[in-house]
Amino acid sequence: MDELSDDGVIPLSTLEPEAPLDDLGWLDELIGDAKVVAIGESEHYTREYLQLRHRLTRYLVERHGFGAVAMESGFAEGWLVDGWVRGGDGELGHVMANGLTSLSGLWTEIRDLLAWMRDRGVGFYGIDLGGSNVSLLPGLDAVTAYLAEADPELRPDPAVRETALAFSAGSPFGIPAAMAGYPALPGERRDALTAGLADLRARLIARRLEYLRRSGAEAYARALRTMDLTVTIDAQFRAMARGGQFAMHRETAIADTVEWIVDREEGRVVLPAHNGHVQRCPCTMPGVAEASMGMHLADRLGSDYVVIGTTAGTGPTLADAPEFFAGTLFAEMGPPDPDSLDALMAASHDGPFAVDLRRLPPTDTARVRAAGRQRFGRLYSEQNPLAAYDAVIHVPRLTAAEPDAAAVAASPADVRKAFAG
């Protein structure tokens, strides 16, 4: 099996976030003056990737002045986290369970990251649609609460929320019911929901000057971005009902959110998300064929967007849909296929290491180029690593992250049941 030369391998001494950072000096030339540094992961909820994310974030904040973390989690829900890391009150377990979506906040490794961010004054943003990407309620309720202050004479149509409630999901375990519930609604009710959301958005735009005077620019900007993401969820359901891809609007929407954060954030932004989102190539797995968030950001930001991808040798991945939604979160994945980027990296060094794809020897560049696939969970996506990433970090063995007891206890009943099992 091919392997990279010693000249192409940058060994990492540890993944522990608190350890000295001397082995990360190679990042200085890689990131330069970039405004956004994306940190990928090929598996969610693993200890090693969450530690790596924390460690790289610490380096970017302490050595390069990055001021915010924009995470693959709900935008509307994320303001709860931002308030806490900026010194606000609240029990951290509650913040983790309710301010981070899709189970992403339920791990002790995330507790460690958020506590560190609070100590350093680092801001937090969610970039994603919210409501586990299927429920309109978190965004709709946030906009309605804003309008109650900025437009007290408005009486929103209660039918809009009633329809959204009919296919809502309180956690990722409610996604199958939401996906089945929307098509079951009468067409006229779905159309009325879309029209009601459009009316709310139009009112936000038409009364902008009045709302700015009443609420201030910050609250208004948050409300409008939340409204746009809520409309996106509805658009995805409508696309699905017409036979299209459910997630066809998501990548553009989350790229818009990152750009919104960059435009308003005085500092530089760390962007942790799945490899399939941050890479500069389409993620060509079954059912997915849209341009990635990373492609949109590369087009808009150019050299101000730097991407660090990841690979892994063995360890757990998220279980397939039927088992996952029944409460079995993880399943073991075997060694990577021989022609994959993961296999090339696994054969090249025993411990965790990095590869700066911009500065590889020619023979190593050819080996990386020949690795035409990358593993995401148990599936493989066609891949051009040299176009997708600026650097890749390999972790030999993944393990499941450690559930945080306080965050799990503050979660909905179906989440508590899954973690108890």
Per-residue model confidence as pLDDT tens digits over 20-32: 999 999 999 999 9
- 103 in the same domain as 16: yes
Domain boundary among 249, 280, 308: 249
**For the ranges 59-68, 81-90, 375-384, 406-415, which has the lowest average pLDDT?**
375-384
Q: Which pLDDT score, from 0 to 100, does residue 286 have?
A: 62
User: Pick from 370, 381, 391, 315: which is nearest to 3 by CA?
Assistant: 370
Kindly state the average pLDDT of the residues 187-195. 97
pLDDT classification of 289: cutoffs 50, 70, 90: low
pLDDT, tens digit, for every residue of 367-390?
999 999 999 988 898 999 999 999
Going 262 to 74 to 39 to 321, the CA torsion angle's sign is negative
**Structural domain containing residue 75:** 6-20+30-128+267-420
Output the pLDDT for position 247: 80
Residues 290 and 413 reside in one and the same domain: yes
Mean pLDDT across the stretch 276-299? 86
Structural domain ending residue among the three candidates 249, 279, 302: 249
| 13, part of any domain | yes
Mean pLDDT, rounded, of the chain: 95
The predicted-structure confidence for 232-278, as pLDDT tens digits, reads as follows 999 999 999 998 888 889 999 999 999 999 998 767 999 999 999 99
Query: Are 188 and 138 contained in the same domain?
Result: yes
Asked if 142 contacts 244 with a C-beta cutoff of 8 angstroms, the reply is no
- Tell me, what's the pLDDT at 1? 55
> Rounded to an integer, what distance in angstroms lies between the CA atom of residue 341 and that of residue 339?
7
The single residue listed with the structure tokens 């609460």 is 145
pLDDT over 90, % of the chain: 90
Are 306 and 234 in the same domain? no
Contact 412, 351 (CB under 8 A): no
On whether both 58 and 145 belong to a single domain, the answer is: no
Distances (CA, A) of 122 to 18, 19, 53, 113: 16, 19, 14, 10
Instruction: Confirm whether 254 is domain-assigned.
Output: no
- For 86-139, what is each residue's pLDDT tens digit? 999 999 999 999 999 999 999 999 999 999 999 999 999 999 999 999 999 999
pLDDT tier for residue 353 given thresholds of 50, 70 and 90? very high
Helices 217-241 and 75-85: crossing angle, nearest 10°? Answer: 150
**In this structure, which long-range contacts are made by residues 51-55, counting pairs with CB atoms below 8 Å and at least 24 apart in sequence?**
51/15, 51/16, 51/17, 51/109, 52/15, 52/310, 52/352, 52/393, 52/395, 53/113, 53/272, 54/17, 54/109, 54/112, 54/113, 54/116, 55/14, 55/15, 55/16, 55/17, 55/19, 55/21, 55/24
The whole-number average pLDDT for the span 214-225 is 97
- Residue 2's pLDDT is what? 85
Tell me whether residue 216 is exposed, middle or buried, using C-beta atoms within 10 angstroms of its C-beta: 0 to 12, 13 to 18, 19 or more.
Answer: exposed
**Environment class of 213 (CB within 10 Å of its CB; exposed 0-12, middle 13-18, buried 19+):** exposed
Average pLDDT (192-199) is 98
Q: Does one domain contain both 83 and 228?
A: no
Residue 380: CATH number of its domain: 3.40.1660.10
| Whether residue 124 sits in one domain with residue 147 | no
Residue 398 has pLDDT above 90, yes or no: yes
Across the range 396-412, mean pLDDT stands at 97
Assigned token pair, 144: 């309605």
* Same-domain check for residues 290 and 382: yes
Query: Mean per-residue pLDDT for 201-223?
Result: 97
The whole-number pLDDT of residue 283 equals: 76
In a domain, 110, yes or no: yes
pLDDT band per the 50, 70, 90 thresholds, residue 285: low
Q: Which two tokens stand for residue 325?
A: 């939604």
If asked whether residues 141 and 217 sit together in one domain, one would say: yes
Contact indicator for 74, 101 with CB cutoff of 8 Å:
yes
Residue 200 CA from chain centroid, whole number:
27
Q: Is residue 43 part of a domain?
A: yes
CA distance 12 to 48: 13
**Domain total of the chain:** 2
Q: What is the pLDDT of residue 265?
A: 72
Last residue in a domain, options 219, 249, 279: 249
Instruction: Write the CB contacts of 102 (distance below 8 Å, at least 6 apart in sequence).
Output: 44, 73, 74, 128, 132, 133, 172
- Whether 395 maps to a domain, the answer reads yes
pLDDT at 103 (0 to 100): 96
In a domain? residue 255: no
| Whether residue 221 is found in the same domain as residue 282 | no
Share of the chain above pLDDT 70, in %: 98
For residue 192, the number of C-alpha atoms closer than 13 Å in the C-beta half-sphere is 13
CA-based nearest residue to 174, from 378, 411, 421: 411
Does 347 map to a domain?
yes
**143 pLDDT tier (thresholds 50, 70, 90):** very high
Same domain, 414 and 284: yes
Domain-embedded: residue 261: no
Residues 56 and 116 in one domain: yes
